[in-house]
Amino acid sequence: MEILSLESLGIDYDFPDEIRIFANEHKSPGSIPPNYKSVYDYIAILFYYHFVEKLENREIAELLNVAPNNLIQRMYNYGWHYSKDYDINKELREAELKKLFKKLEDAKRAIHTINFEEFDLYKKMKQCDYYQKMRKKTWQIGEFKNKEEYLKSIFYFTQISEEKWSSREMATVFNVRVNTMQLRLENLGISYTLEEALEHKKTKNAQNYGATVRAGKVTRMKALRASATSGSMTECNFRDELSLVIYDYFYEDFYEVIVGTNTVGIIDGKEIDIPVIVINNLQGTYVKIAIEYNGETYHQKEDTKKKKLLKKNDWIYYEVIEKNNDGSHRGIKYIKEKARNTAMELKEIVKKELCLDT
């Protein structure tokens, strides 16, 4: 069996100190696959591919020869599923934790006003073998007074609360792995039906439902662009990648972002290579950005007429320049980097146009 490490994979990167601390917190037996040199190597490798190289989960899974679902589960367990930008991921993680722990405290207060003995399922849960043999450390993690308060909270989250909690959310506040939480729920006789789980994904954006929808949109857009676009293959690949990464910079609870195909007719018969519309759902405002994907040679021939027409029609001109005679310009790594740099700059443009702090 090949032992994988940062060195064997040729990864030379100055990792934040907190990654070593994070690795020390995840040193429980069986916490990583057996073919890694250390817990630190494993976590640092995932960090590098996810936050530095910004690869998709399926790409990381392929590189490490693991099942994609297992890798996705791992990202959820580590709290790395919010964004491929590490700072943004931390910010979103902290915001969700704050919200969840407030809801947990609200739930603890609410359960004292409910007569749980009226519910047959709750009585069955109390009588089940798993509950009877539940160890103290199971319910102490959430700072519950006793195991009955722990059980009532789980029942409240899954059966009574109008906004049902997912197993991932419960795993987050109870500080356990998602699959561990799922197993606990099953042992207590609680499980969502397929229909309930799908509905839960839609209403709560659980398991990155929004990202799944976006991936579907990109797939449909690829089919559309095959017959509707006239740009270069590199331009088309750039458009697809921008569509995938844009929500790492525009939080989807606040924004809707439309990345379109090149269109003739938006401005008096002129073509826009990649029209982008960013809608701020909180303000009800929007920004229109016209991305022009040009080579260095064409870049020197400035289309002043198009710029004037764009400005007249409230479009912001933004140019992406593809280097000439650069053998790397068609590589996926080059395109990913260019798409992410563009997304970051578009965010700054939108902030300036809408006078936003974040």
Contacts of 77 (CB under 8 A, 6+ apart): 171, 177, 178
User: Tokens in use for 278?
Assistant: 């960013």
Nearest Cα neighbor of 247 from 298, 289, 210 is 210
Domain-ending residue, one of 78, 97, 125 = 78
pLDDT at 51 over 90: yes
Shared domain for 127 and 64, answered yes or no, is no
253 part of a folded domain: yes
3 part of a folded domain: no
Shared domain for 168 and 266, answered yes or no, is no
Shared domain for 108 and 192, answered yes or no, is yes
pLDDT at 54 over 70: yes
Report the range out of 42-56, 69-83, 165-179, 279-293 with the highest average pLDDT: 42-56
H-helix segments, the chain = 17-24, 39-47, 57-64, 68-78, 86-110, 120-127, 129-132, 136-140, 147-155, 167-174, 178-187, 194-204, 209-228, 233-245, 296-299, 304-312, 332-354
Rounded Cα–Cα distance for residues 147 and 68 (Å):
35
8 part of a folded domain: no
Shared domain for 224 and 348, answered yes or no, is yes
Shared domain for 214 and 350, answered yes or no, is yes
Rounded Cα–Cα distance for residues 308 and 317 (Å):
9
pLDDT at 195 over 50: no
Shared domain for 97 and 144, answered yes or no, is yes
- Integer angstrom CA distances of residue 315 from 121, 210, 248, 264, 266: 58, 27, 23, 14, 10
Q: Please state the rounded mean pLDDT for residues 245-254.
A: 74
pLDDT at 81: 86
Q: How many domains does the chain have?
A: 3
Shared domain for 192 and 220, answered yes or no, is no
CB 1 within 8 A of CB 35: yes
pLDDT at 220 over 60: no
Among the residue ranges 4-8, 110-114, 184-188, 235-239, the one predicted with the least confidence is: 235-239
Between 238 and 142, residue with greater pLDDT: 238
4 part of a folded domain: no
User: Tokens in use for 20?
Assistant: 């070593």
CB 106 within 8 A of CB 153: no
User: Tokens in use for 49?
Assistant: 């591919």
> Pairing relation of β-strands 255-259 and 274-280?
antiparallel
2 part of a folded domain: no
Shared domain for 234 and 345, answered yes or no, is yes
10 part of a folded domain: no
Between 261 and 264, residue with greater pLDDT: 261
- Integer angstrom CA distances of residue 166 from 70, 104, 219: 18, 13, 28
pLDDT at 166 over 90: no
Between 201 and 131, residue with greater pLDDT: 131
Distance, C-alpha 38 to centroid of its chain: 27
Nearest Cα neighbor of 332 from 241, 260, 247 is 241
pLDDT at 11: 95
Shared domain for 288 and 347, answered yes or no, is yes
pLDDT at 226 over 50: no
CB 171 within 8 A of CB 177: yes
- pLDDT for 289-303, tens place per residue? 999 888 766 545 557
- Under the phi-then-psi rule, with left for phi > 0, alpha for psi from -120 to 50, and beta for the rest, what region is 79? left
Shared domain for 109 and 29, answered yes or no, is no
Residue 70 corresponds to which amino acid? N
Q: Please state the rounded mean pLDDT for residues 310-327.
A: 78
175 part of a folded domain: yes
pLDDT at 192 over 50: yes
pLDDT at 265: 54
pLDDT at 117 over 90: yes
Residue 332's domain spans which residues? 210-354
Shared domain for 171 and 133, answered yes or no, is yes
9 part of a folded domain: no
Domain-ending residue, one of 204, 225, 248 = 204
Q: Residue 291: which H helix or E strand, with range?
A: strand 285-295
% residues pLDDT > 70 (the chain)? 77
pTM of the model: 0.54
